[in-house]
Amino acid sequence: MLKGISSVISPELLKILMEMGHGDEIVLADANFPTASHARNLVRADGHRIPELLQAILQLMPLDPYVDKPAALMQVMPGDRTETPIWREYGRIVQECASLPDPFEEVERFAFYERAKRAYAIVATGEGALYANLILKKGVISQA
């Protein structure tokens, strides 16, 4: 155990976050996402929901301030009536941790899968909400 690091951040996830550089992306994937077939680096976080992981990750990792939208959501498929209340929860967390009022872009499902394949890592979670997948782009930490 370390002080100041949430218990939902596993040693493997901490290592991945440390390895990532500016502009690298990490996917927080819901339980339905095809993580094993899409991941360059796969981190298991089964049993954890994405909001708790997002909160913990954003305590350690800045979002990229040099892009318009440093976070991406998987767009609901046309004709699908699924509601996405979890997105509001993500927005609240990002606003609280990163002071970004509108950080999200919506990415079409298959384009999201392709982007996920290029991500530095995918975190497989136990999140049961539909369309709960989230991509975060790592920012920089200034020494000033």
Supply φ then ψ for residue 143, to 5 degrees: -90, 5
Task: Compute the C-alpha angle 44/38/133, nearest 5°.
Answer: 65
Q: Which residue has the higher pLDDT, 20 or 142?
A: 20
The stretch 28-41 carries a mean pLDDT of 98
Banded pLDDT at 144 (limits 50, 70, 90) = low
Tell me: the pLDDT tens digits for 5-29? 999 999 999 999 999 999 999 999 9
Range with the poorest average pLDDT among 67-76, 94-103, 115-124, 132-141: 94-103
- The confidence score (pLDDT) of residue 107 equals 98
User: CB–CB of 51/84 below 8 Å?
Assistant: no
User: Which of 98, 117, 99 has its CA nearest to residue 107?
Assistant: 117
Which is it for the CA torsion 82, 85, 88, 92, positive or negative? negative
CATH class of 11-137: alpha beta
Which own/partner pairs from 80-86 qualify as long-range (CB within 8 Å, at least 24 positions apart)?
Answer: 82/130, 82/131, 84/129, 84/130, 84/131, 84/132, 85/129, 86/50, 86/51, 86/127, 86/129, 86/131, 86/132
Banded pLDDT at 120 (limits 50, 70, 90) = very high
pTM of the predicted model as reported, rounded to 2 decimal places: 0.96
Question: Which residues are catalytically annotated?
Answer: 22, 64, 113
The percentage of residues in the chain with a pLDDT greater than 70, rounded to a whole number, is 99
